[in-house]
Amino acid sequence: MDKKHQFTLWYVVAAFLALSLIQDYYVRSYGPKTLAYSEFLKELKAGRILEVAIAQGSLSGKMKAVQDGQETEQRFVALRVDPEISEELSKYNVDFRGQPESTFLRDLMSWVLPALIFFGIWFFLMRRFNPQDQLLGVGRSKAKIVAEADLTTSFSDVAGCDEAKEELQEIIDFLREPERFQNLGGRMPKGVLLVGPPGTGKTLLARAVAGEAKVPFFFISGSEFVELFVGMGASRVRELFTQAREKAPCIIFIDELDAIGKARGANLMGGHDEREQTLNQLLVEMDGFDPRKGVVIMAATNRPETLDPALLRAGRFDRQVLVDRPDVNGREEILNVHAKNIKLAPEVNLREIAQKTPGFSGADLANIMNEGALLAARRHKTAVDMDDLSEAVDRVIAGLEKKNRVINPKEKKIVAYHETGHALVAAYTPGSDKVSKISIVPRGLGALGYTQQLPTEDRYLMTRSELTGKIDVLLGGRVAEEIVFEEVSTGAHNDLQRATDIARAMVAEYGMGRTLGLSTYPRQARPLFLSPEQAPLTGKEYSESTAAKLDQEVKDILEEARERVRAILTGHRDQLEGVAQELLKKEVLDAQEFERLIGRGE
C-alpha cells in the first residue's frame, strides 16, 4: 500500500470528532429550544404553548415566540418533573428543571466501542491484505531485497576460494557489460549453483558478487517457499521472478536449495506434494525468463547429490562452482580477513594458526578469531596473543576446558597413560602426524583428555601404510592401559570405533583388503560434503558370506595393529612411564616438552 495514502486509525478519530462538533453546532443553532420545567409551566399558564407531545420523561412541541417583532412558532423540549414536587416548588416561585441521567457510558459501550473495534480490525487487515495475493498475503514472496547501495560486501572480504571467485567473475562482467557478451552471440548461464561443505562461505560469495556488480540482491532460503497452504510455494516463486524482472539487472540467491530441489518421486504423495509443486514452478520460471534481461539465479547447497536432475541440466543450473574447505594458504588469508578488526599482539603468527587448523572452514576460522578475542578480554589483556588463539583452536576442536571437574587419582592416572600411549605410537610410527599437544584436562561433553596431532601439510590422498598408522595411533591408548594396568577401561570407546571405521573402509571401500581384493562395497548415498558421522544409515548390498569375510578381515587388521602397538610401547616402556608422570604433574605438555622427554628435543 502506498504510504501517502496509507490508512491510519487517527483518520477515524478526527472524523468522529468533526462529526460531533458539527452535530453540536447544528443542534444549538437550528434545534428545538430547551425549556426548564418551571418555565414550561409559566408559558403554559400564559397560553403560549400550542401543542405538546408527552413522552415518558420529556415534553416536546410548539410554542408561540416573538422574533424581530413578529409572532412565530418555535419548537421546544422540556424534561418532566414529578407533579407533586413541581406544585410545591411553584408555590414558592422557584425555578426548577429536569435533569436527565448520564447515558455517556451506556452510549460508549453500545455503539462507540464496537465501532472502534470494527475499525481497528479493518485497519489491521488492510495493512496485511494485498488484493493480488492469496489469503492474508501468505502467497507473497518472502525474499529479502538488498539494494545495490546497501551491498558493502566485495571480493576483498572473501578469501580462501580464489578459483571460485574466478569462475564468478564472468557473472560480474556480464552484469556490468552485457553488450560485450551479446555482441559475440554468447549468453550467460541462467543458473549458478554453489556447492560445498557447510561454513565455506557460499552465501558470502553470492553477496560479494552482487556487491561487485552493483545490482539488487534478492535473498531467500529454500525452506521459505514451502507453506502450509497448497500452492503458496509456487505463488511465491512466481512473485519472486516477477519482482526480479522489474529490478533487472539483479541477482536471485536461493540458499539451501535442497529444501525444495530434492529429486521428485521420493515422496509418497507424488505430484501433489507441495514441495514438488514449488520445484515444478521454479523449473518453469527458469525456462521462461530471458537471460538477456540480466537476471542471474544463484543457489547454494551442501547436498548436490539429492537435487533433481532437471535442475542441473543445461539451461537451468548449468554451472556448478565448488566452494571447498581452504588449504593452508587459504586459511591464512581468511584469518587475515577476520583479523582486520581485532587487535593482535606483534608476535602473533597467523601462518602457524593456519597450520594448526587443517580441514577447518571459513566459519570455523572466524569463530577461532572471535574466541581468541573473547579469551583475551576475559584475561584483561590489551591485545590478542598466540596463547589466546591456540586456546581458541583447542576449544573449537575439543570443546570447553573443565578444570573444575573433580577426577579421582586412579582415573587421572589411567587417562595420563592412555594419552601418553597415543603420543608415543604417533612419535614412533613412520608417516604419522606430529604430536602438537597432550592434555589430561577434561574438555567438551565427555573427553577426559586428548592428544593433538597436526599434519605438516594438507593431504588429499592416503596410502595403506598411512591408514594403518592412523589405526595404530588410535589403539595406542587402549594398549597402554593393558600394559600398565593389566586391565582396560571404557575410555577407548571412541578410539575403537574410529579404528574400526578406518579398517572397514580399507576392506570394503578402498580395495585394500586381502580377502575381497578389488571388490568394493561402499556405503550407499553418502553425502559428498558432510562428515561420515552425518551419513544416513543404509543397508548392505552384499551377501552374508561376504559380510562374514569382511568382518574377519577387519578383525585381523585390528589385531595386527594391536601387536605392532604393543611392540612399540613395550620397547619404550621407560619413556611411557616418564611422559605419563610428567603429564600427571603438569596436566598439559606441548610439542617441545614431549620431544624433550622422549630424547628428541634440543
CATH number of the domain enclosing 339 = 1.10.8.60
450 lies in the same domain as 528:
yes
CATH number for the domain that contains residue 247 = 3.40.50.300
CATH number for the domain that contains residue 561 = 1.20.58.760
DSSP class per residue in 388-437 = HHHHHHHHHHH--B-TT----HHHHHHHHHHHHHHHHHHHTSTTPPEEEE
Q: Contact 595/537 with Cβ under 8 angstroms?
A: no
| Nearest to 479, CA basis, from 571, 570, 583 | 570
Q: Contact 423/596 with Cβ under 8 angstroms?
A: no
Residue ranges in the chain whose pLDDT is less than 70: 1-13, 16, 19-20, 23-31, 37, 54-57, 80-113, 123-150, 186, 226-232, 265-274, 288-293, 403-406, 444-446, 456, 523-541, 601-602
What is the model's pLDDT at position 118? 73
Q: Is residue 602 part of a domain?
A: no
456 lies in the same domain as 470:
yes
419 is annotated as an active-site residue: yes
235 lies in the same domain as 313:
yes
Q: Is residue 348 part of a domain?
A: yes
Query: Within 13 Å of residue 482, how many CA atoms lie on the same side as its CB?
Result: 13
433 lies in the same domain as 581:
yes
**Quick one: cell of 170?**
564472468
Q: Which residues of 255-267 are buried (b: 16+ CB within 10 A; e: fewer)?
A: bbbbbbbbbbeee
427 lies in the same domain as 526:
yes
**Sign of the dihedral defined by the CA atoms of residues 165, 166, 171, 172, in that order:** positive
Q: Is residue 99 part of a domain?
A: no
> In angstroms, rounded to a whole number, what is the distance separating the alpha carbons of residues 45 and 47?
5
Q: Which one is catalytic: 274, 419, 481, 553?
A: 419
> In angstroms, rounded to a whole number, what is the distance separating the alpha carbons of residues 373 and 365?
13
Domain termination site, one of 277, 302, 322: 322
| Nearest to 191, CA basis, from 257, 129, 130 | 257
| Nearest to 198, CA basis, from 330, 359, 361 | 361
Q: Which residues of 457-478 are buried (b: 16+ CB within 10 A; e: fewer)?
A: eeeeeeeeeebbbbbbbbbbbb
> In angstroms, rounded to a whole number, what is the distance separating the alpha carbons of residues 263 and 310?
9
What is the model's pLDDT at position 270? 47
CA angle 586, 473, 449 (to 5 degrees): 35
Domain termination site, one of 362, 377, 398: 398
Helix (H) or strand (E) holding 90: helix 83-91
**How many distinct structural domains can be found in the chain?**
3
What is the model's pLDDT at position 130? 46
317 lies in the same domain as 332:
no
Q: Which residues are annotated as a binding site for Zn(2+)?
A: 418, 422, 495
> In angstroms, rounded to a whole number, what is the distance separating the alpha carbons of residues 543 and 21?
93
DSSP class per residue in 367-382 = HHHHHHHHHHHHTT-S
345 lies in the same domain as 229:
no
Q: Which residues of 525-537 are buried (b: 16+ CB within 10 A; e: fewer)?
A: eebebeeeeeeee
> In angstroms, rounded to a whole number, what is the distance separating the alpha carbons of residues 148 and 16?
45
Q: Contact 161/323 with Cβ under 8 angstroms?
A: yes
Domain termination site, one of 322, 342, 372: 322
Q: Which residues are annotated as a binding site for ATP?
A: 196-203
CA angle 235, 239, 240 (to 5 degrees): 115
Q: Is residue 131 part of a domain?
A: no
What is the model's pLDDT at position 83? 66
351 lies in the same domain as 306:
no
> In angstroms, rounded to a whole number, what is the distance separating the alpha carbons of residues 138 and 195?
30
Q: Is residue 134 part of a domain?
A: no
Q: Which residues are annotated as a binding site?
A: 196-203, 418, 422, 495
172 lies in the same domain as 297:
yes
Give the CA radius of gyration of the chain.
42
Q: Is residue 35 part of a domain?
A: no
Eight-state DSSP code of residue 22: H
Helix (H) or strand (E) holding 309: helix 309-312
What is the model's pLDDT at position 2? 45
What is the model's pLDDT at position 1? 42
**Sign of the dihedral defined by the CA atoms of residues 575, 580, 581, 583, in that order:** positive
> CB neighbours of 299 closer than 8 A, spacing ≥ 6?
191, 192, 193, 194, 253, 254, 255, 257, 261, 317
Q: Contact 431/450 with Cβ under 8 angstroms?
A: no
Q: Is residue 137 part of a domain?
A: no
CA distances, 461 to each of 465, 466, 467, 510 (Å): 12, 10, 10, 12
Residues facing 76 on adjacent strands:
33, 61
347 lies in the same domain as 318:
no
Position 399: which residue type? Answer: G
547 is in which domain, residue-wise? Answer: 409-597
309 lies in the same domain as 203:
yes
166 lies in the same domain as 270:
yes
Largest CA distance in the chain: 138
What is the model's pLDDT at position 470? 92
